[in-house]
Structures are given as C-alpha cells and as structure tokens.
Structure 1
Amino acid sequence: MSLGLTALELARIQFAFTVSFHIIFPATSIGLACFLALLEWKWLRTQNLIYKDLFKYWIKIFAVAFGMGVVSGVVMAYQFGTNWSEFSRVAGSVTGPLLTYEVLSAFFLEAGFLGIMLFGWGRVSPKAHFFATLMVAIGTCISMFWILSSNSWMQTPQGFAIENGVIVPTNWWAIVFNPSFPYRFAHMATAAFLVSSLLVVGTAAWHLFKGRRDELVKKSLSMGLWMVLVTSLLQVVIGDNHGLNTLKHQPAKLAAIEGHWETNRDHGMPLLLFALPDMENEHNNTEIGIPNLGSIILTHSMQGEVKGLKDFAKEDRPNVPIVFWSFRVMVGLGMLMVLLSLTALWLRKTGRLYESAWFHKFAIVMGPTGYIALLAGWVTTEVGRQPWVVYGVMRTQDGLSHGVTADQVGLSLIIFVLVYAVVFGSGIYYMLKLIKTGPSFIESVSPEQAGLGHFKTPLRPLSAVEDAFDDVTDTQKSQPDQNKEKHHD
C-alpha cells in the first residue's frame, strides 16, 4: 500500500488531500454566514421579502458547507496524532492551546446559535433570529482568526523558547500576533468573501443565462458583484503587502515564488510571467518576464536587490516549480476577478447587466475560480514553507511519527480517498442540485406568480415550494373546465 513512496511523502500527501477538501467548506461557510447576516439585516431594515427568500435559499447551502467543514476538520486533527505525533509533542504547547481557543471561543458560539439560525423562524422574534445569525457569522470569523494564528505561527514563529528539545511559549501576544498573521488573516478573510460572492454570482448568472429575470436572481447577481468588486480590489492591496512581509520573513519562499535563482546585485529583478524552473541545474530553462518590475514591486526601487535561491542551501529550498506556478494560478485568477467586477460595473452603468448573455457566460465560468485560487494560494503557502513544519525551527521530516510505516499511511490514504469520494461527493452533488434549482419565491411573490393567489408564510421553508406547486397545478386543472363551460355556452 506504500505506492512506491516513503512514509513522509505519503503523510504529506494525505494531509494535503484532507486539508484541501477541508478548506473549501469553511471558506464557503465564512463568506455565506456574513452574506446571510447582511440579507437578514436588509430584510429587517426594509421589510422587503425578497431578502428573506434569498436568506432561506442560501442558508441551505450554508448548512451543507458548514456540516462538511466540521466533519473534514475532525479528520485533520486525527492526523496530528497518527502521522505527526512528533510535531504535536514538540510544538503542541503552542498549537494545542491555539486550537483549544478556537473551539472555546468560536465553535461553541457557532454551535450554540446555529440551531436558532436554521430552525428559529416563527419560533423566536425576528430580532432574536438576526442576533443568532450574527453570532454564527462572528463565530466563523473568530474560528478563522485562531486557525490562521496557529498556521501563521508555523510560518513566522515568535514568542517561544526551546527547552529539552520542546518548544515552550514565552510570550502569547507575540505567538498569536506573529509577524505574518495580520497579512495572512486579512488575505484569507478576503479570499473567503471572494469564494462565496463568486458562488452567488455564478449561481445567479446561470439562471439569468437560462432565461430567469425575476427579482431574486437579479438581486443575487447585483449583491454578489458588489462584493466581488470590493474584495478583488482589496485583495490586490493585501496581496502586495503580504508579499513584502514574505520577502522579509521567508525569503526562500519568496525567491521560489518569483523563480529567482541569482541575487540581482547590479541590476533590477524582472517579474517572470512564464518560466520552467529546473531545480537540479538551478536555473530556468525558459522564461518570459518584464525587466525591473520584480524589484519595483518588492523593493519599490528600479534596481532593488532580492536574494536568490542560490543563496540558500539546497536542502532549505522549497519545490520551486510547484510554488512558482501555484502562485501564478492564484494571481492570474485574481486578475480575472478584477476584470469581472469592472466589466460588471460598466454593464451596470449602461443598463445591460441583466441582459448580456456573454457576460453571464463569463460569470458562470468564474463561479468556481474562487475555490481554485484559494487552493492555489494554500499550495503556495504550505509548499513554500518546506522543508520546515515550523519555519527555521523544526523540519517536516522531524515531525513525522516514530514507527509509522509507508504501508500504514498508504492504506489510510486510500481509505480517505474512497470515503471522501462518497461522503463529500454526495454533499457537493446536493449543493450543485440546490444551485441548479435556484432561489424560490416563498414569502415574496413574483409578477408572474401574482395571479396564483396569496402565498402563506410557512413554518418550513421548503413547504412553500410544495404549496406553490400545488397552487399552480390546481389552477392548471381548473382552466380546462372553465374553457369547456365557455365552449358549451
């Protein structure tokens, strides 16, 4: 079951597989929780039932994403004990409390109010329900805070001492607010909002492309595109500052991101748009770049010096081709997100936002790109940290559990792949079905449905769909009878 790989390689693949599956669900639930809070606030403020119907639609997708995020997170914790027990033993006094704070301050908050948020309609007051929604949204952000603090400490460790081979905390303020944390937290939070807003935009664009022109779809597209506009432009600024922080604290990672081998001591560093890095021969086989632009971006100087990969020992360099290209996938998709939002702004101004089929196709294609960019960013971050599990302090190979074999890890990896394919494949399939169905008029009434009578307020959101279907059926059945009477008359 070793698949021809070592225990270390399989353990890294297993963790990469599980964390990749995991991260897409919290990112979705973080963004959607805040979107739901905004929808409910808009409903309370305007009493426009369109916002309430949108809330009742998107909360279904949020619930699925939240549940799968919780389940996949448990699996990651399991691996710390089975595959990475040495890392837990050495660094557990730092990472353990941080993850505990996440459970105590965030998960309990989310779990405590989630039931009210999901099932509280008609059972608590509107303001109490909004408070529950707000607490869930805040809880998801607090959870992200502690997780990013723990991961950022592994990237830029501070506030500790090493005693008897074990990392001991000495300054919790320095640990939590380590040098890379503010940038990485802002970067991830913005990414989560981008992921969810692109999901909303892609869903609305799909239904517009299929011919729907009702207020539910239009409102979804409009709100989603405003969020994409703000967050995509904001991400450019945050990403630039994050890059400067990486240059200062993780120069080897930055050099790998740029495919930069030789330190440029007498000329500016180019910004490489395309390259084929060759780690064995320590150069790029082919490269296309813009002269001096790399120095301008990273040092704000035409000939600013940036340390090259050759200034680091070979054993201290990350996998350059993976880091180089994952970063460009992330940035390239980010630029397309900016283009999407600016195009939408132009179409909105010219009054063609809801009628431009070519733009709707573009938005549909862009719908899943938030997830792709998110995963590419995490690949850049985690592969770029290698060969360290705690940067500059503990190597990844030293964090592997003693006695764990390649066959054991390989078998568990195969089991994970099979179980994930069934469990999470089913969850994703259900989410896609909800997306394909689209939002429904439950408490509000569309112009087309105005002739079907008054829609009563249901205790269960889905019951309104059934009632509406029954009303349509009854109306259609009565029409032939009426026609017959007219014919006989």
Structure 2
Amino acid sequence: MELDPLILSRIQFAFVVSFHAIFPVFTIGLASYIAVLEGLGFKTKNPVWMKLSSFWTKVFAVVFGMGVVSGIVMSFQFGTNWSNFAQASANFLGPMLSYEVITAFFLEAAFLGVLLFGRDRVPAGVHLFAAIMVATGTLISTFWILSANSWMHTPAGTELRDGVFFVTSWSEAIFNPSFQYRFAHMVIASFLTGGFVVAGVSAWYLLKGREVEANRKALSMSLWLLLFLAPAQAVVGDFHGLNTLEHQPMKVAAMEGHWETSKNVPLLLFAIPDKANQTNHFEIGIPSLASLILTHEWDGEILGLNEVAPEEQPPVAIVFWSFRVMVGLGLMMILFAFVGLALRVGDRFWRTRWFLQGMRFMSITPFIAVLSGWFVTEIGRGPWLVYGMMTQAQGVTPSLTGGMALFTLIGYIIVYSMVFSAGVYYLMRVLYVGLEDDYDEEPDQAERPKRPLSASHVPFELHEDSKFQPVNHGDH
C-alpha cells in the first residue's frame, strides 16, 4: 500500500500540536495565578501566600519546560512537511512568529530565572515584578500565535499573487475577523485550565489532610474564579460560534451534522454522520434549537454541507463529536462551579468528600476540552490550509514521500513519549512533596517526609459523614 505524505503530514502536525497545546494552555493560567499569589504575599506578608506561590512556581517550571521542548520543533515542520505553505505565507507568518519570540519569549526568559531562583535573593517587589512579567509574556505570546492562527481561518489584509501572500494591511491581517473571539476563548480556556488544576490538586491535598489552611485558600480562590469564568466561556463561545457561522459556515454545518440547507434546524444530541452517503444515522435532537442558537430565530436558516462538493467538506464525524465533547465538558465545569458556590454555605466546600473527589476528576477535563476544541477548529477548516485560498494539498512539500513522513512521525512519537514520561515523573515528585519543606533526599528510594506527619500535625480528620472534623489531641 502506498503511503500518502499529505495524510501522514497532517497526522504528524496534529500529534505535535495536540501534545504541545496542553502545556501552554496550563502555564498561561498558572502564570497569572502565581502573579496574584505573589501580589497577595507582598501586600499581606502572610506566609501562606508565599508557600502557595513557591509550590506552584515549581509546577510551572516543569510544565513550562515541557512546553518549550515540545513546541520548538513545530516551526521545523513548516519547512520539512509544508514548504509550499511556508514559502507562500512567509511575508505574514514570518514576522508574526518573530514578533512572538522578540516580545514574549525573550520577556519570559529574562524574568523566569528571577521568578524561579530569585526568591529571598532579590527584593520582594522585584520578585513580584518578575512574576507579573512572566504572566504578561504568556499573554503576549498567546496574542501573536492566535493572531497568526486566526488569519489562516479568516484571512484578511493580504492578497495572493502568483502563489505568494502579500500583506496589504498589517492591522487588518493581525486583527482579522475571527481573532478577537479566538483570543478571548483561548485566554479564558487557559484560566479555566489553571483554575481546575489548582482546585483539583488542592482538593487532593485536603482529602489527605495536608497543609489544610493553604489548600483551603487555594481551593476557595479557584472556585471563585471558575464561578465567573465557566459561564463567561459559554457566552464567548456563543459569539465565537456566530462569527464562525459567518466566515466558515461549512465548519458549523459539520459541528451540527447538518447536511441540507433548511430552516427550523434541530440541535442534534446524538447522531452518526455518514459523509459517504451525505446523511446521519440514529438522530436524536431537539427541534429548532440549532436555528435558535445560531441565528437567534426559531425558524432561522442554516446552510448545509451539501452546499459544497464532498471533497470540500471537512471530516464531519470528528468535528461533530469533538464539538459535543467540548460542550459537554464545558457544562460540567459550570455545574461544578455552581455546586462549589452552594457548598460555601456552612463552609462545606472544602470539607465535603464527594465534592473534593469530583474536583480531582475535573482537573483533567479542561485539557480534554481544549484538545476537542482544537480538533473542531483545525479539522473543521479542512480541506483548507488558508481558508478559501490554499488547500492542504497545495501547501504540502512536493518532494516529501510517504516513507519520510512516516519515519519522522514515528520519531516524534518516540521522543515526545520520553519527554512526557520524564516530565510527568518530575511533576509527580513535586506534587508528592507538596507544600511541606523539610524532606529527605534519598536517590534510591521514593521521597518521603523526614518527619512523617502524625495525627497531632493534622487538625482535621475525614469521618464517614464525608466531612473533616476537629481532632482532640489533649495537651497538643
């Protein structure tokens, strides 16, 4: 069987991007959280905030390192697998990636060392400033990358001449029609990811009775953040969807599994899209709800996939189900945020076992939701590389063979597996140590406390009624 270099190149880039995306989406939110902790510590002089900041800075360092390692090779693929696209888009994407390096990566690199190693070595105000600069750098980086990616979806400010894109307006190209929605959607997703991870880890520590005061504060802060951002993400997502309907109607049709242009379109809860026969099987839907959501009218008309030839349609099944995974997890996030609000009555949010266990599970869901959202965005753009102007087949490297693409794909999988394993190993060590400071270093054994925590060190126990109760230790 002959190997298709286009399919393998798409799989390779999808694998690398998906692997890389889970790290920056966490570090963007976590960097801002660390800056807030540093600010609270600087203002209040409460050591709890500094302890939390020190711990989460260690986590940030490991995840940031994994993100850098996994992201560097992404730019190489433009030359190795997508040279036609790289040459055609160089007038725009070249400067955009350079701006990201100059304005964001250098900023992060300059102040990350101060953040990681400057505690107690530089004035507190300088350390706080370093934390703010690192957080600012992550947001600036997001700005440039999302602008470049959005241009590929809604190209503006450029014209294609002899197979090469020429910039006619930098402001229109940078602030292209979908950029503001994508940027807001991704930043909120990053803060939600950071918030749910902090909440999940804090819940795990509370279940174990470790550093109760600090982790109770961390959980409380995270729940307030999630209470506002989870519903806000749904609103931003709605605006993003309307923008996509205007500029990429076939993507929305794939998201909805909608084949025939019609009115009163139902919202499909379940279906098995069949692209070969241009239909769905086993549909379960709510009448007219898709029309209401997308057009804000019960009888609103929505274009169907059959408006274009089958070869111009995106892979419908992947887009359809990825969208439902993303939305379903988003609704779960909103639910847990409001449950956390309800449990604040009687200060139960950090003492209710089932809720803490649930928050542990929810710490994984933002990563799945982000990947699902990226699948919808990028796969739903197919078969276009630059929407409506350059196809994926036109952008692939002409001399690339299927064997070469398969060889590099296998290489990436092996190397990234090693990077991920090493990163997770060190991350687990950081999480095991936690916020406590006095630990043995025993290279041949698993790390454990030099002075194991006895019952007298833990002011609460978890009883059968799923609540922490004070422990009476007499003279202790």
Residue 347 in structure 1 maps to residue 334 in structure 2: no
Matches within 5 A, 1:230-309: 230-264=228-262, 267-309=263-305
Larger radius of gyration: 1
SS in 1 for 2:298: coil
For 1:56 and 1:213, how far apart are their aligned partners in 2?
A: 14
2:443 is aligned to none
Change (3 A) 1:335 1:472: closer
For 2:126 and 2:347, the matched residues in 1 are separated by 38
Unpaired runs of 5+ residues, structure 2, are 439-446, 458-476
Report what 2:50 is aligned to.
52
Which residue type is aligned with residue 90 of structure 2? G
Return the letter of the residue paired with 1:423. V
Matches within 5 A, 1:397-416: 397-416=393-412
* 1:193 counterpart = 2:191: yes
The answer (yes or no) to whether the contact 2:89–2:165 under 8 Å persists in 1 is yes
CA contact (8 A) 2:3 2:403 kept: no
User: What SS does the corresponding residue of 1:199 show, helix, strand or coil?
Assistant: helix
Instruction: Tell me if structure 2 keeps the 8 A contact 1:330–1:377.
Output: yes
Which SS does the other structure have where 1:162 is aligned? strand
Q: Distance in 2 between matches of 1:16 and 1:389?
A: 13
Q: How far is 1:362 from its partner? A: 1.0
TM-aligned CA deviation for residue 393 of structure 1: 0.4
Find runs of 4+ consecutive structure 1 residues off by over 3 angstroms: 468-473
Give the equivalent residue in structure 2 for 1:419.
415
Quote the Cα distance in structure 2 between the aligned partners of 1:230 and 1:121: 32
CA distance in 2, matches of 1:427, 1:4: 36
Give, in whole Å, the separation in 2 of the partners of 1:136 and 1:165. Answer: 39
Equivalent residue for 2:460? none
Give the Cα separation in 1 of the matches to 2:453 and 2:430: 21
Q: Measure, in 2, the Cα distance between the counterparts of 1:213 and 1:52.
A: 13
SS of alignment partner, residue 423 of structure 1: helix
Q: CA contact under 8 A between 2:211 and 2:435: conserved in structure 1?
A: no
Aligned partner letter, 2:109: A
Query: Are the structure 2 counterparts of residues 165 and 69 from structure 1 closer, same or farther at C-alpha, using a change threshold of 3 Å?
Result: same
Give the gaps of 5 or more residues in structure 1. Answer: 443-465, 477-489
What residue number does 1:460 align with? none
Query: Is the 1:213–1:354 Cα contact (8 Å) retained in structure 2?
Result: no
CA distance in 2, matches of 1:472, 1:362: 26
Provide the secondary structure at the position in 1 that maps to 2:272.
strand
Percent same amino acid at aligned positions? 51
Give the number of equivalent residue pairs.
Answer: 448
AA partner of residue 347 (structure 2): G
Letter in 2 for 1:290: I
Per the alignment, in what secondary structure is the counterpart of residue 23 of structure 2?
helix
1:82 positional shift: 0.5
TM-score (norm 2): 0.91
Q: 2:163 & 2:351 partners in 1: Cα distance? A: 65
Which residue, out of 373, 376, 390, partners 1:394?
390
Counterpart in the other structure of 1:439: 435
Give yes or no for contact 2:24–2:67 (8 Å, CA) kept in 1.
Answer: yes
| 1:210 positional shift | 2.6
Q: Give 2:353's match in structure 1, choosing from 357, 365, 381.
A: 357
Q: Name the one with the larger helix percent.
A: 1
Which residue is equivalent to 1:310? 306
Deviations 1:106-139 (A, max 9, x none): 1111111111111111221111111111011000
Give the aligned CA root-mean-square deviation in angstroms: 2.0
Contact 1:105 1:142 in 2 (8 A): yes
Tell me, yes or no, if the aligned pair for 1:217 and 1:439 is still in contact at 8 Å: no
User: Which of 105, 111, 114 is 1:113 aligned to?
Assistant: 111
Q: Say which of 213, 222, 225 aligns to 1:224.
A: 222
Q: Deviations over 1:160-203 (max 9, x none)?
A: 11222211011000000000000000000001111111111111
Question: How far apart are residue 24 of structure 1 and its match?
Answer: 0.8
Matching residue's letter, 2:255: I
Q: CA deviation at 1:213?
A: 6.3
> Which amino acid in 2 is paired with 1:346?
A
Counterpart of 2:417, as a letter, is: A
CA distance in 1, matches of 2:397, 2:417: 27
Asked if residue 325 in structure 1 is aligned to residue 327 in structure 2, the reply is no
Rounded Cα–Cα distance in structure 2 between residues aligned with 1:435 and 1:125: 28
Larger mean Cα displacement after TM superposition, 319-328 or 219-228: 219-228
Most deviating of 117-126 and 52-61? 117-126
Q: Which amino acid aligns with 1:180?
A: S
